[in-house]
Every structure is written in structure tokens, then in C-alpha cells.
Amino acid sequence: MIYTGKSVINFTFTLPYIIKVFNQDMNRLTVLKALMQQKNLRNYLEIGVFNGHIFFRIRSSFKIAVDPGFAFDNSRKAGKIFLNPYNFYNRYFQKTSDDFFAQDAAEVFAQKKVELSLIDGMHEYEYALRDVENTLRYADDNAVIILHDCNPQAKEDACSFGEWKAREFTGIWNGDVWRTILHLRSLRNDLTAFVLDCDHGLGVVIKQKNDRPLPYTKEQIARFTFEDFVANREKFLGLKPTSYFSEFFGVNP
């Protein structure tokens, strides 16, 4: 279908190893760049910018950054303009995404709709779901939403924000964004959603009818445990190998 740190030393390059390396090479930045350059998706929104590792590298004259606590100052913003002149056009909203959508989004997107978005904010089900649904309100019909942290590999990675805070923000935190994907695949048959098996799980959401939604209610989704998720990972996420990105969108990362 076409749509318009732990190291391991292993000198036996088996096929699974090669596939794993390939999957690690694809990440949210390569996906975003490919969609911008090859599908001409330009108007960009990023929720959860933090230090700007992704945001400052995006080449677009319409870039919106939303984060309640940017980890950079005005001097760094200025320096990034020299490295990427498109950063001259950036607009920054230092507030929660809920406040941004309530207070600013209507004006920001009055003339230009969102064509491409990265959602990497609060990694909890309800928060991530609101970010997706609010973004969709201002999204072009051909828009693509990329949702980070959809495929936690260990139970501790899938903990709540409170639990992550209790361990002093150490280790990987993907939260339960996987529930957001499951929600969309179950309860939004006007959307197509799946997850690429790379970069902690890259969720892809587009405005395309899903003829085979999953049968779960919101209450069931909220009750599922991490063990349920592990037992049904591929089904819940619509988990796809990285090669599916090129197949689905007709682009090369």
C-alpha cells in the first residue's frame, strides 16, 4: 500500500543482527526529514522539544515549538540560526501543550495547517492522546503525526511519571504511550495508526480510514498491564519493521 546504552560486541553478523542495526539507524529525525523532503510536508509542530535536539535540525519556514520547560536560552536560539537558517522562523511557546491548544493554536494555525508533527511530550496515555487529538484538529488532510516512545522494552521503562520521578529521573522512560496507539487503533476508525520498530517505537498516525479496528474499549485499554502488552505487542501496536516506512509512504529514509 502506498500513502500520497548498553553495547553488545558480536562479530557474527547474523540476519537478525543486521535487521536490528538497520532498525537502530532509523529514528524520528530521519523519518521526519524523509517526509519533509520527499512528501513535501512543511508546516511543522513539535510537542516536547526539551533541548531542541530534533527541532533545531528541521528545515521549514513554519516551525512551532511547545514545551513547558525549554532546556536552552536565547543565545542558543541565535546560534542555531547560523547552523540552520530556517530557525529564524521558529516560534516558541513555553507552556504545557494543553495550554497551547487552549490559548494559542487557533491563531497559530489560522492560515497554515499542521502538515507534520512530532509528539514527544508527557509520556502518559491521557496526555499523549490529548496531544494527538488536539493536533488532528489543526492538521491538514494529508498530515502525518509521529509519536515517540510507543514500544517500551522493559516494565521499568513503561512506568508512570510518578514512578520515574521517584527514581530521580534515571533510566529510560517511555511511559504508557503504547496505550495511546492502542486507543487510536481501537476507537478511531477514521485514522490509521501503526508503530515502526525503531527509536523506542515510532507511532505513525494519519487521516485514513481503518476498516479493521481492534475491539477494545477505553476501560479495557486502561486496565491492560505491561504483561498484557508484552503478550500482544505486535497486535496492540500494529508493529512494523522499518522497511514498512518506505513501502507505506513511498519514500526512502
Q: Which amino acid is at 181?
A: I
Task: Say if residues 145 and 191 touch (Cβ distance below 8 Å).
Answer: no
Whether the per-residue pLDDT at 157 is higher than 80: the answer is yes
Q: How far apart are CA 174 and CA 64, in angstroms?
A: 23
Q: Which of 125, 145, 239, 236 is nearest to 191 (CA)?
A: 145
Q: How far apart are the first and last CA of the chain?
A: 17
**Mean pLDDT of all residues in 15-24:** 39
Asked whether the beta carbons of 130 and 147 are under 8 A apart, the reply is no
Q: Determine the pLDDT at residue 253.
A: 76
| Maximum Cα interatomic distance, the chain, rounded to a whole number of Å | 56
pLDDT band at 9 (very low <50, low <70, confident <90, very high): very low
pLDDT of residue 251: 87
What are the cell numbers at 68? 513547558
96-142 tens-digit pLDDT: 999 999 999 999 999 999 999 999 999 999 999 999 999 999 999 99
253, 245 Cβ separation under 8 angstroms: yes
Q: What secondary structure letter does DSSP report for 87? A: G
Confidence (pLDDT) at 228: 98
* pTM (two decimals): 0.89
Judge whether 60 and 36 are in contact, CB under 8 Å.
yes
Q: What is the mean pLDDT of residues 50-63?
A: 96
- Name the residue type at position 22: F
- The answer to whether residues 51 and 67 touch, using CB atoms and an 8 Å cutoff, is no
Residue 20 has pLDDT above 90, yes or no: no
Listed residue (50, 28, 46) closest to 202, CA to CA: 28
Q: What is the pLDDT of residue 52?
A: 95
